[in-house]
Structure 1
Amino acid sequence: MSEVLDRTKIYIDGSWVDSQGTGRIDVVNPATEDVIAVVAEGTPDDVDRAATAARAAFPAWSALSGTERGEYLRKAAALIKERLDDFTALVSRDMGMPLGFAKPIQIGMPLANLAAFAELAATYDFDAHEVGNSLIVREPIGVVGAITPWNFPLHQVVLKVGGALAAGCTVVLKPTEVAPLATYALADIFDEIGLPAGVFNLVSGFGPVVGEAIAGHPEVDMVSFTGSTRAGKRVAVVAAETVKKVALELGGKSANVILDDADLTKAVTDGVAKCFLNSGQTCSALTRMLVPADKVDEASAIAAKVAQNYSVGDPTAATSVLGPLVNSNQLKRVRGYIEQGIAEGARAVLDGRETGQDSGYFVGPTVFAGVTEDMTIAKEEIFGPVLSIIGYQDEDDAVRIANATEYGLAAGVWSGDQERADRVARQLRAGQVEVNGGAFNTNAPFGGYKQSGIGREAGVLGFEEFLEIKSIQR
């Protein structure tokens, strides 16, 4: 068992201080089930102190030039890069992604976004537009409350905190209590580079207490939340009492449409990877694979053969592709969905419930064929390595099935005809659609349609979420 880290201080007004509460939350390594750290169970009083500090720091921070704000972000990014291996090990131990994937994804993506926000802070023209006799200016919205999830713990923090700070806002952050350690390491860096007191504040704790206190606080001008659709709805309700801006990045049940002229082996192989990334714990995972009805058996056989090579095990082992699920609740949830899929008549061509691991919250790759639209596994977000293969009759039917969901976060299209693929992509009601395995772009806006959320993160459009628009008539 490794040493248990004491991270029971919270960060308010430029200092690590004690919480007003005495509660503590254990942080558990999902691969070993050992407690690896302890954090504070924060209180509404802690949030009040943090919001007050953020409000006091806002005038001076927002008055700095974008270049000056960007320089702080550049310094933070440089230190993360210097400590890349340490950050990678920390996030892997905290939430279970194998090291070989954690470095480029869990740390590499936020590094890219932090650098991009630093550049935007320095180069964005806040007074870019004139309309008749009006100058249209963009100004920081104020104090931003950020509530972030456990599946990409540093990346989601950077998308909110990096963008807000670059725009001239100050921040009160509630990181995930499940996998918070990389965020604490980032807070240490902000302290080390001398980020002005009150500009960034961190209060750990549970969502129904700390998260709701942030969403409802009168000194918080905007709340940005990433997590489940259920929790996002609650954040919106609480925030409505003080009529603040709300940005939500929520769940998904994303379809991967493989058209009849696609290279089936290539498309299915890539689709398995897009479903199982991070052990399926990805809101934009392509969990519904749509194939021509007469190719369901062939696609299922390919998917099962590919998925069998996704070795499950210790995140520190070079051979591991799938690490553990994040905690025991998630393990129970995913196994329950697999059992429900079988009970409702889906055919498990690969069943990952048993992995042979002696400890940890592991589920292996699971592939279902014969899935119909009315089945639970075709409708609800599972957040585990579970792929549902669904047959369709023709192109119009594929589009209909893809869009027949309350979600609209991501999608994929495969075709041997680029124009056809693009045409279908435009018909899909989703915030981002990859065509023939198009690579993820960290500078592109990320967010969803329908109950997958409100607003966008990353890039210029994500940066502009933290800005108000003012018209000055002259």
Structure 2
Amino acid sequence: MREYLKFYIDGQWVAPSTPKTAEVINPATEAVSGRISLGSAADVDKAVAAAKKAFASWSQTTREQRLDVLQSIQAEYAKRQTEIGDAIMEEMGAPSGLAQGFHTALGAGHLATAIEVLKEFKFSEQRGATLIAKEPIGVCALITPWNWPMNQIAVKVFPALATGCTMILKPPQLAPYSAQIFAEILDKAGVPKGVFNMLQGSGAVIGTALSTHPDVDLISFTGSEGVGVEIAKNAAPGVKRVCQELGGKSAFVVLDDADLAKNVASATSSMMINSGQTCSAGSRLLVPKKRMAEALEAAKAAAEGVTVGDPKGNVAMGPVVSKAQYNIIQEYIETGVGEGAKIVAGGAGRPEGLSKGWYVKPTVFGNVSNSMRIAREEIFGPVLVVIGYDDVDDAVAIANDSDFGLAGYVNGADAAACNAVARRMRTGWISINGGYDFHAPFGGYKKSGNGREWGEFGFHEYLEVKSMLGYAP
């Protein structure tokens, strides 16, 4: 049983202003796995005051000083990476191989990338008699989700530290354990007091207090569209910078060539990773209509090949994060059937042999039109919809016919044809034949948010641009 009842504020572990706790449920067992404290607006005031005070000195540190801190964090992170993976497995149900693999590797990768970028980043540029300087924006509120807990913390905290900002991290109530270990790592690494602060609690309380606080300069939020809109409204009177990575309903376009069955299988199995709880998941699979039968056969085989079970075992997929999330997914599966879509694999209920835990069957729908709810709304579970297209122009039109524009995927044997489709897709991050890059900016078009994270572009989120005219070189 884990108990994390203190917050990290101003370089110390402190009790909440008003004692209040919440239980954390293990989604694989439905049993209580621990308790956390829930913060209040008074705790937010303390954390913001600490960050504001620390900004005066931290913002003036040199590149070398910040590199020293980041490299110290890197050493401590490596020591506790296994602990972080165990925490992620317990808090949100990621299978051991995924939790100890990609989940923790993402944190390490973004840290290494931040160090690499900081070594060469140009914080000033002389243009004739004018100096263009990029300076830290100030106190940042970082609000992260439960689905990829370490990834989302890393893409916010490390660029903020690297650019000289101070911050308050508000991790997710559903997945709080890994964040607590992360705070311990930063404390051990010697991050100066007040630079990094962390407090747990509900989004409605802590998120609102942060987004309305007069001494917070920036809100960086990853989560649902609805919550993102409320945060933007709350931040508007203070004219804060608001950076958001919200929902997605990303298209995975498989081109008409000899590799179709292989690419459909790859798209299906990759969509099921993390129980489909990925904002950038390719949850709309677009295939040529004339080869629909072949595509559905490949998708069915791939989905049925996804092993589901206890995260501690050798499985590809664990549970979804909570009972509430499970119920939402079940409702969408019922909606899809009601809309006339055909279940090709999976369906309602738990997988056979699993009577406890929030496990969902890897599900594939055929006979789907892009106008159906299951094709337009983010389900956030292991549910793939397969949509047919007439030709490449039709595929692009369907891909772009969405309120979202976070990610996209194009697979095919002809690289030039893939590139041409990718250029026409209205979305912020596109993987062509499995391409991946820690330095590539990540973020969305339309209702998927604004701003960009990852690599050099993630640094720009936390910087103000100052022009100094008549500045002598």
TM-score, reference length from structure 2: 0.97
Q: Does 1:294 align with 2:290?
A: yes
> Match of 1:100, as an amino acid?
G
Given residue 291 of structure 1, which amino acid in structure 2 is its aligned partner?
V
Cα deviation, residue 83, structure 1: 2.1
Which ranges in structure 2 are unaligned for 5 or more consecutive residues?
none
Structure 2 letter corresponding to 1:81: A
The one of 224, 242, 246 aligned to 1:246: 242
| Kept after mapping to 1: 8 A contact 2:76/2:189 | no
Q: Could you say which residue in structure 2 is the equivalent of 1:276?
A: 272
Structure 1: gaps spanning 5 or more residues: none
CA displacement at 1:265 relative to structure 2: 1.4
Aligned residues: 468
Q: Which position in structure 2 is the counterpart of 1:410?
A: 407
2:94 aligned residue (94, 97, 100): 97
One-letter amino acid matched to 1:6: E
Give deviations 1:413-463, integer Å, cap 9, x for gaps: 12222111101100001111111222x222211111111010011100111
Deviation at 1:112, TM superposition (A): 1.0
1:236 corresponding residue in structure 2: 232
Instruction: Look up the match of 1:134.
Output: 130
Q: Deviations over 1:311-349 (max 9, x none)?
A: 10001102x111000000000001110111011100001
CA deviation vs aligned residue, 1:41-98 (integer Å, no higher than 9, x gap): 1111111110011000001111111221122121112122122222211111111111
CA contact (8 A) 1:21 1:43 kept: yes
Report the Cα offset of residue 262 of structure 1.
5.3
Kindly provide the amino acid, as one letter, of the partner of residue 112 in structure 1: G
Equivalent of residue 304 in structure 1, options 279, 284, 300: 300
Whether 1:461 and 2:457 are equivalent positions in the alignment is: yes
Q: Which moved more, 1:69-78 or 1:53-62?
A: 69-78
1:360-375 mapped onto 2 (5 Å cutoff): 360-375=357-372
Q: Which amino acid aligns with 1:381?
A: E
Q: Could you list the structure 1 runs, at least 4 aligned residues long, displaced by more than 6 angstroms after superposition.
A: none
Cα distance in 2 for residues equivalent to 1:274 and 1:432:
16
Matched position secondary structure for 2:247: coil
Tell me the distance in 2 between the aligned counterparts of 1:96 and 1:382. Answer: 18
After the TM superposition, which residues 85-164 of structure 1 pair with which residues of structure 2 at under 5 Å, given as runs? 85-127=82-124, 129-164=125-160
Which one is further off, 78-87 or 420-429?
78-87
**Residue equivalent to 2:309:** 313
Q: Does 397-406 or 408-417 show the bigger shift? A: 408-417
Q: CA RMSD in A?
A: 1.1
SS in 1 for 2:238: coil
d(CA) in 2 for partners of 1:437, 1:168:
34
Q: Give the distance between the partners of 1:139 and 1:463, measured in 2 at CA.
A: 11
In the TM superposition, residue 130 of structure 1 has moved relative to its aligned partner by: 2.7
**What pairs up with 1:426-441 in 2 under 5 angstroms?**
426-438=423-435, 440-441=436-437
Counterpart in 1 of 2:346?
351
Report the residue type matching 1:125 in the other structure. K
Please name the residue that 1:392 is paired with. 389
Look up the match of 2:329: 334
1:187 equivalent in alignment to 2:183: yes
| Residue matched to 2:14 | 17
**1:407, distance to aligned residue in structure 2 (A):** 0.3
Q: What letter corresponds to residue 464 of structure 1 in structure 2?
A: H
1:126 maps to amino acid? F
Which residue pairs with 1:57 in the alignment? 54
The one-letter amino acid paired with 1:138 is K
Query: What is the DSSP-based 3-state SS (H/G/I as helix, E as strand, rest coil) of the residue aligned with 2:153?
Result: helix
Report the residue type matching 1:311 in the other structure: T
Structure 1 residue matching 2:405: 3-state secondary structure? coil
CA distance in 1, matches of 2:62, 2:342: 59
Give the match for residue 211 of structure 2. 215
Contact persistence 2:341–2:366 (CA under 8 A): yes
Distance 1:266 1:437 in 2: 13
The separation in 1 between residues aligned to 2:373 and 2:338, in whole angstroms, is 10
Q: Is the 8 A contact 1:324 1:361 kept in 2?
A: yes
Q: Contact 2:406–2:427 at 8 Å: present in 1 too?
A: yes
Pick aligned residue for 1:323 from 308, 311, 318: 318
| Residue of structure 1 equivalent to 2:4 | 7
Instruction: Give 1:237 shift.
Output: 0.7
Q: C-alpha displacement at 1:36, in angstroms?
A: 1.4
> In structure 2, how many angstroms separate the alpha carbons of the residues matched to 1:457 and 1:218?
24
The answer to whether the 8 Å contact 1:67/1:121 transfers is: no
| Equivalent residue for 1:176, pick from 172, 176, 179 | 172
CA distance in 2: counterparts of 1:361 and 1:371, whole angstroms: 26
Displacement, 1:391?
0.7
Structure 1, residues 133-181: CA drift from partner, whole Å, max 9, x if none?
2110100000010000000111101111111011100001110010011
Greater Cα offset, 294-303 or 365-374: 294-303
Q: Is the CA contact (8 Å cut-off) linking 1:150 and 1:176 kept in structure 2? A: yes
Q: Whole-Å Cα distance in 1 between the matches of residues 225 and 446 of structure 2?
A: 10
Q: In the alignment, is the contact (CA less than 8 A) between 2:261 and 2:294 conserved in 1?
A: no
Aligned pairs (5 A) from 1:191-206: 191-206=187-202
Larger displacement relative to structure 2 (85-94 or 371-380): 85-94
- Specify the SS of the correspondent of 1:434: strand
Residues 146 and 174, structure 2, Cα contact 8 Å, conserved in 1: yes
Q: Quick one: distance in 1 between partners of 2:214 and 2:67? A: 28
Kindly provide the amino acid, as one letter, of the partner of residue 96 in structure 1: G
Contact 2:76 2:188 (8 Å CA) reproduced: no
The worse-fitting range, judged by mean Cα deviation, of 337-346 and 65-74 is: 65-74
Q: Following the alignment from structure 2 to structure 1, what is the Cα–Cα distance between the partners of residues 188 and 413? A: 52
Q: What is the distance in 2 between the residues matched to 1:314 and 1:71?
A: 40
Q: For residue 404 of structure 2, give the secondary structure of its aligned residue in structure 1.
A: coil
Amino acid at match of 1:90: A
Shift in Å, 1:123: 3.1
Q: 1:250-261 counterparts in 2 under 5 A?
A: 250-261=246-257
